[in-house]
């Protein structure tokens, strides 16, 4: 029974991974297809990669996405970290109420948030462009930072802050030398999540972007009205490989770190 159960669970795991990654591998394979067809293979080529680096529209949209994601993630990380510390120091009842309100943007459908932000910017007479795009990305990224920082604050030993103040540190020094180092892993995780969600976002960006502030997702969506260029396949393949390499490097460094700690 154990052997059969193990085999079945192993088969299910393989099927799940195939279901998740088969579309990506098909996309990567199509990026090397000499034909624009997604169903007929006519030969191997690297032309789509060379055309990609000469496609000003896609490259500009990619640069816009990275710029918006970086600025939004940095601002959201700063605001979210300060907000998490403030929420943590509230009374339990007030903290739960504020956290419930903070989680609303995560639960709320993106189309509702996007339309709401669009109406807000129109009401405030703010011209649509990078300003509205970055502000809207900050709005939906801040809750993710708070969610990642709050657990680290709960895990932190409050006695460390009290000991630091007993040793002569003022509140600013306690914040800088004790609290920030203790919650740094949560801050980094929150920043990475904010950066990832910002690049990935389409719905909210669609309602708040300007003519000169198109992100990559909006550019690709506009292509679907005609036909998606194989250059997009090439770009997607490059992004997948870059993310995969980063994950491998992080895992290797983490394994080495654990080995050094085990030796000590």
Residue 153 to residue 145: CA distance in whole angstroms: 12
Place of tokens 């969610």: 147
Which residues, including other chains, have CB under 8 Å from residue 53's CB and lie 6 or more apart? 59
Query: What would the pLDDT profile of 102-133 be if each residue is shown by its tens digit?
Result: 888 888 888 999 999 999 999 999 899 899 99
pLDDT at 4 over 80: no
DSSP per residue, 192-226: HHHHHHHHH--HHHHHH--TT---HHHHHHHHTTT
pLDDT at 224 over 80: no
CA-nearest of 17, 93, 56 to 214 is: 56
Specify which residues 44 forms β-bridges with.
33
pLDDT at 1 over 50: no
pLDDT of residue 65: 92
Within 10 angstroms of residue 56's Cβ, the number of other Cβ atoms is 7
Q: Which of 61-70, 215-224, 245-254 has the highest mean predicted lDDT (pLDDT)?
A: 61-70
Give the pLDDT band (50/70/90) at residue 6.
low
Q: What percent of the chain has pLDDT over 90?
A: 25
pLDDT of residue 116: 92
Query: What would the pLDDT profile of 48-103 be if each residue is shown by its tens digit?
Result: 888 888 888 888 999 999 999 999 999 999 999 999 999 988 888 888 888 888 88
Say what the pTM is. Answer: 0.83
Within 10 angstroms of residue 142's Cβ, the number of other Cβ atoms is 24
Domains of the chain, first to last? 58-229 (1.10.3720.10)
Q: How far is CA 22 from the centre of its chain?
A: 22
b/e per residue, 195-214, with b = 16+ CB within 10 A?
A: bebbbebebbbbbbbeeebb
At residue 33, the 3 state secondary structure works out as strand
pLDDT of residue 66: 92
If residue 111 lies in a helix (H) or strand (E), which one and from where to where?
helix 110-123
pLDDT at 40 over 80: no
Give the pLDDT band (50/70/90) at residue 5.
low
The mean pLDDT value of the chain amounts to 86
Q: Which of 143-157, 167-181, 245-259 has the highest mean predicted lDDT (pLDDT)?
A: 143-157
How big, in percent rounded to 5, are the helix, strand and coil portions of the chain?
Answer: 80, 0, 20
């Amino acid at each position: 029974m154990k052997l059969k159960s193990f085999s079945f669970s192993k088969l299910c795991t393989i099927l799940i991974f195939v279901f998740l990654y088969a579309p990506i591998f098909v996309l990567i394979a199509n990026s090397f297809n000499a034909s624009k067809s997604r169903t007929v293979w006519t030969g191997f080529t690297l032309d789509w990669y060379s055309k990609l680096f000469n496609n000003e529209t896609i490259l500009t949209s990619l640069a816009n996405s990275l710029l918006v994601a970086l600025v939004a993630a940095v601002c959201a990380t700063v605001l979210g970290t300060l907000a998490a510390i403030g929420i943590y120091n509230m009374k339990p009842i007030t903290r739960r109420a504020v956290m419930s309100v903070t989680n609303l943007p995560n639960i709320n459908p993106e189309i509702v948030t996007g339309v709401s932000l669009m109406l807000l910017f129109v009401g405030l007479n703010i011209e649509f462009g990078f300003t509205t795009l970055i502000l809207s990305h900050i709005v939906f990224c801040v809750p993710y930072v708070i969610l990642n920082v709050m657990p680290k604050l709960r895990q932190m030993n409050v006695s460390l802050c009290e000991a630091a103040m007993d040793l002569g540190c003022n509140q600013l020094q306690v914040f800088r030398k004790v609290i920030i180092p203790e919650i740094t892993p949560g801050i980094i995780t929150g920043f990475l999540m904010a950066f990832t969600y910002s690049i990935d976002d389409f719905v909210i960006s669609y309602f708040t972007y300007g003519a000169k502030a198109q992100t990559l997702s909006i550019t690709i969506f506009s292509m679907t009205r005609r036909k998606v260029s194989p250059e997009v396949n090439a770009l997607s393949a490059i992004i997948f490989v870059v993310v995969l390499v980063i994950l491998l490097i992080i895992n290797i460094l983490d394994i080495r770190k654990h080995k050094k700690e085990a030796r000590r």
